[in-house]
Chains A and B, each alone.
Chain A
Amino acid sequence: MPESPSSTKPAPVVRIHDMDFCYGSKTALHDINLEVEYHRVTALIGPSGCGKSTLLRCINRMNDRVVGARVSKGEILVKGKNIHDADVDLTQLRKQVGMVFQKSNPFPKTIYENVAYGLRVHGVKDKIAIDEAVQRALTQAALWDELKDRLHDHALGLSGGQQQRLCIARAIATMPDVLLMDEPCSALDPIATLKIEELITQLARDYTVVIVTHNMQQAVRVSDFTAFLHLGKLVEFAPTEELFTNPREKLTDSYLRGTFS
């Protein structure tokens, strides 16, 4: 880490500064300012269509896949580096910023190959290094004990919850600094959800997590900081406990009470 850990407040790992984002001519995010701290879980909440997923996808430039989508103002810094600079290598950025999707999407390959994929595309050829990384990633994703004897089974034979944890293992195999999660539990049953939530708390020891969720209880359970978005604007950003118990903004308060118009 280039930042000095001895300073009183470490520099944020992700810093979004005065950012506007638009799809073609339609502006989706207005004037976003957000700082994500090291080894903390930051939750993005808000009603459907408020732009929380879009904001998440700005951080690893997944929005580049969409024709006409662009950041029209401001900047996003990951570890102090503007991710839209011309000399930024997209593959390196995505190695730094991993992502887990709403619906589990393991590749139609074996469990081992799924986890090893990120390493392979980044040119790792050493078999032992890959073996170690696979074991570490699966252990951190709380899958190693369940799956260590069937690493070469097909990944699509796993249960929904296991598949989603496999996707987490796949994302952390390349040791990213930031892990983005886009409603990772929305397609899972309560028990699988609980496991993932436990996992997120543990992952925060090694990684910085940004999670989008539509479930406010989940935000309370897993996150240290919460950002509330509404109609493309960041309404309030505060430590989770503070935001939920004592919101500064009226809009936040009415959303949390469910008396939202």
Chain B
Amino acid sequence: MPEVSPTPPGTLGSKILRRGRRTVLGMDPQKLIKNFFGANSSIAIIVLVLIMVFLLREGAGFLSTYHHELETYRKAGLEFCDIADTPLKQQQTMASSLRRALSIEMEPLVKTARERRDAAFLFKRAHDEQNSDGTATFDASPLFTPEEKNQLKAELAALAPESTDLPATLQKLAGEFATKDREAKTKFKTIIEAEETFEEAAEPVAEILDELKTHATETKEAANEFHTLEAGRQQLLAAAASASGSEKADLLKEAELSKVEEPKYAERVETLLEKREDLVKALGDYVTAVEEAAKSLQSSSTHPEAAQLIASVEKAIPTHLADIQKASKDLAAWKWDEPVSFFRAVSSFAFGTGWITNSSWQDFYGVLPLLTGSLLISFVALFIATPISVTAAIYTNQFASEREKELIKPVIEFIQAIPSVVLGFIGIAVVGDLIKGFSQWEFLSWIPGFPIQERLNIFNAGFLLAFMAVPTMFSLSEDALNNVPRAYSEASDALGATKLQTVFRVIVPAAISGILSAILLGLGRVIGETMVVLLVAGNRIAIPDFSDGLGAIFQPAHTLTGIIAQELGEVSRGSSHWQALFMVGILLFVISLSVNWCARTIAKRFEHPKA
């Protein structure tokens, strides 16, 4: 810049010029401020990129680790055992259904006799311990006639202090119960027999499987040990390669010492394959036995609940048997050295129905139960929050007086200030009990899933999350309505439209893009929420049972966010479990990003010029 000043020094003009020439750190101050602001905005972008890179780095190894684990699962023969074991697990649920049906059926027949016997024995104990409370209970009991009471008292009083003999009345009562019990058992003989055949049929299979499982577990442990030591040896070798002199020799020697043989899978798996025929045959026998038992399983039942249980077992048996037969075929076709495709690792993560960790058998990282939990909770929240926040926004923006606006807006926005952990308290202490209480009411029993079993469930979590989403959705919807040009409502008014017509035919349609993106941003807020779902959703890792239709929302569930919060602190860094949790994090990140992207796209698509 030329230092020639055309104006004499001291005048106003020269002062202005001098100001323009001043520099800070060798830079024009305006440029400096501009760069400072620019740098701040780029920090946001850099941080976002760093987060993505970090997530990907931690999660990237997951698929290959998991693939490797699944390969060991096959080579060691665990998969072989699971082929037969998994369908057999259904048998246990069916057997327990039958047992429950049986006890429901027998209960009315034996109830009185059992209660009389139990009350009398309790009284004897109270008498022995000279407990006056017990005596009083017995005196008030409606189960006995006064004569019976007096007789028992007399017998007990006559008894020698240290005698172990039972008084005659007690013996009689015990006898009565035994008779009733026998009668009931004869009456429901068919169910009892079916249940027993059912359980016994699985025993030979279970016996073979137990043996095979022990063997397979041993192989797997050997394989795991080998992999750990081998990884350590590789590290020593790598260190040796960069070291020199005696240090190098030491390292090489150490590496040599830690060398172990890889388990001979082919040899070990022979033991399993030898038993293959036995296992297939045992499964065949099982099928025959169950078919036989199913025939005698007639639901002659009078009690509706028992009839329902038995019917459900009858219905489940054909599919169960088909599963078993398919398992026999799979067992026959199973090869230990067939390579596990990489796709299997991907699908086992994305579509796997079990998230099983820290298991002594085999860990599975199937994300599906968590994903369904997260999505169901979010949709419940959206379903509740959308009508509330959108109608509240319409009211506040279009109908409310200034004073009402001054009340409503800060109050709704204040909800955002409630810490989510406090909402969690409310969910556990208040909402859960309320929902359960409501679900007991007779006239609400038409709602699927009512009456509910669990206080902590998907609906409860969704309800609280709706509460958290309302401020976001309300404020953004209200902004969208506020941005509708006044000229639209003016034109509509001038055409003689009523206030409601103007609102629903002009203003809401003009703001619909903003409202939709408000809803989506609310969804994004809900999917990412952790504390409330961890406290309130019930944390059961299972896909909800949709057989009851919408009633599934009254079951507990676990979520993507919850599982990370719950487990990440306890897993060892770099393990497959750790990597799996990061994969869940990546999945969450992708979901949030796409929800936000959708919100932006919708907002753009419907954008109207400001008038």
- C-alpha spacing A174/B494, complex, angstroms: 12
- Which residues of A in the span 180-217 have a Cβ within 8 Å of any Cβ on B? none
- C-alpha spacing A92/B609, complex, angstroms: 31
- State whether the Cβ of A122 lies closer than 8 Å to any Cβ in chain B: yes
The answer to whether A107 touches B488 (Cβ under 8 A) is yes
The answer to whether A171 touches B501 (Cβ under 8 A) is no
The answer to whether B487 touches A60 (Cβ under 8 A) is no
- C-alpha spacing A121/B488, complex, angstroms: 14
- Of B488, B493, B496, the most chain A CB neighbours within 10 A belong to B496
- State whether the Cβ of A230 lies closer than 8 Å to any Cβ in chain B: no
The answer to whether B494 touches A94 (Cβ under 8 A) is yes
- A93: chain B residues within 8 A (beta carbon): 496
- A94: chain B residues within 8 A (beta carbon): 493-496
- B495: chain A residues within 8 A (beta carbon): 94-95, 98, 117-118, 121, 170-171, 174
- State whether the Cβ of A47 lies closer than 8 Å to any Cβ in chain B: no
- State whether the Cβ of A62 lies closer than 8 Å to any Cβ in chain B: yes
- C-alpha spacing A48/B609, complex, angstroms: 28
- Which residues of A in the span 76-121 have a Cβ within 8 Å of any Cβ on B? 90-95, 98-99, 101, 103, 105-109, 117-118, 120-121
The answer to whether A156 touches B498 (Cβ under 8 A) is no
- State whether the Cβ of B87 lies closer than 8 Å to any Cβ in chain A: no
Q: Given that A65-B490, A98-B495, A105-B490 are known contacts, is A121 also in contact with B501, CB under 8 Å in the complex? A: yes
- State whether the Cβ of B560 lies closer than 8 Å to any Cβ in chain A: no
Q: Which A-chain residue is minimally distant from B609 (CB atoms)?
A: A156
Spot the interface stretch: B98-106, B142-150, B505-513: B505-513
The answer to whether A99 touches B505 (Cβ under 8 A) is no
- C-alpha spacing A170/B488, complex, angstroms: 13
Q: How far is the CB of A224 from chain B (nearest CB, A)?
A: 24
Q: How far is the CB of A31 from chain B (nearest CB, A)?
A: 26
- State whether the Cβ of A167 lies closer than 8 Å to any Cβ in chain B: yes
Q: How far is the CB of B447 from chain A (nearest CB, A)?
A: 38
- State whether the Cβ of B611 lies closer than 8 Å to any Cβ in chain A: yes
Q: How far is the CB of B264 from chain A (nearest CB, A)?
A: 75
- C-alpha spacing A36/B240, complex, angstroms: 106
- B608: chain A residues within 8 A (beta carbon): 108, 156
- A98: chain B residues within 8 A (beta carbon): 494-495
- Of A118, A167, A174, the most chain B CB neighbours within 10 A belong to A118
- B492: chain A residues within 8 A (beta carbon): 107, 117, 121
- C-alpha spacing A99/B491, complex, angstroms: 8
- C-alpha spacing A171/B493, complex, angstroms: 11
Q: Which A-chain residue is minimally distant from B608 (CB atoms)?
A: A108
- C-alpha spacing A170/B506, complex, angstroms: 14
- B509: chain A residues within 8 A (beta carbon): 108-109
- A99: chain B residues within 8 A (beta carbon): 494
- A62: chain B residues within 8 A (beta carbon): 490, 493-494
User: Per a CB cutoff under 8 Å, which of A91, A120, A167 touches B491?
Assistant: A167
- State whether the Cβ of B591 lies closer than 8 Å to any Cβ in chain A: no
User: Per a CB cutoff under 8 Å, which of B485, B487, B496, B611 touches A121?
Assistant: B496
- State whether the Cβ of B332 lies closer than 8 Å to any Cβ in chain A: no
- Of B487, B494, B609, the most chain A CB neighbours within 10 A belong to B494
Q: How far is the CB of A179 from chain B (nearest CB, A)?
A: 11
- C-alpha spacing A148/B333, complex, angstroms: 72
Q: Given that A103-B611, A117-B505, A156-B609 are known contacts, is A174 also in contact with B496, CB under 8 Å in the complex? A: yes
The answer to whether B510 touches A107 (Cβ under 8 A) is yes
- C-alpha spacing A71/B496, complex, angstroms: 20
Q: Which B-chain residue is minimally distant from A96 (CB atoms)?
A: B496
Q: How far is the CB of B492 from chain A (nearest CB, A)?
A: 7
- B505: chain A residues within 8 A (beta carbon): 117, 120-121
The answer to whether A105 touches B496 (Cβ under 8 A) is no
- C-alpha spacing A109/B609, complex, angstroms: 13
User: Per a CB cutoff under 8 Å, which of A95, A103, A156, A167 touches B496?
Assistant: A95
- B498: chain A residues within 8 A (beta carbon): 91, 121
- A109: chain B residues within 8 A (beta carbon): 509
- Which residues of A in the span 139-153 have a Cβ within 8 Å of any Cβ on B? none
- A92: chain B residues within 8 A (beta carbon): 496
- State whether the Cβ of B497 lies closer than 8 Å to any Cβ in chain A: yes
- Which residues of B in the span 170-206 have a Cβ within 8 Å of any Cβ on A? none
Q: Which A-chain residue is minimally distant from B611 (CB atoms)?
A: A105
- C-alpha spacing A154/B488, complex, angstroms: 15
Q: Given that A94-B493, A171-B495 are known contacts, is A105 also in contact with B609, CB under 8 Å in the complex? A: no
The answer to whether A105 touches B497 (Cβ under 8 A) is no
Instruction: Return 17 A-B CB contacts under 8 Å, by A number.
Output: A62-B493, A91-B497, A101-B487, A101-B494, A103-B487, A105-B488, A106-B491, A107-B488, A107-B491, A108-B488, A117-B497, A118-B495, A118-B496, A120-B505, A121-B505, A156-B609, A174-B496
A residues lining the B interface (CB < 8 Å): 60, 62, 65, 90-95, 98-99, 101, 103, 105-109, 117-118, 120-122, 156, 167, 170-171, 174
A-B residue pairs, 10 tightest by C-beta = A94-B496, A105-B487, A91-B496, A99-B494, A121-B497, A118-B495, A108-B608, A95-B496, A105-B491, A121-B501
Given contacts A94-B494, A98-B494, 18 further A-B contacts (CB under 8 A): A60-B494, A65-B490, A65-B493, A91-B498, A92-B496, A94-B493, A105-B488, A106-B491, A107-B488, A107-B491, A117-B495, A118-B495, A121-B492, A121-B495, A121-B496, A171-B494, A171-B495, A174-B495
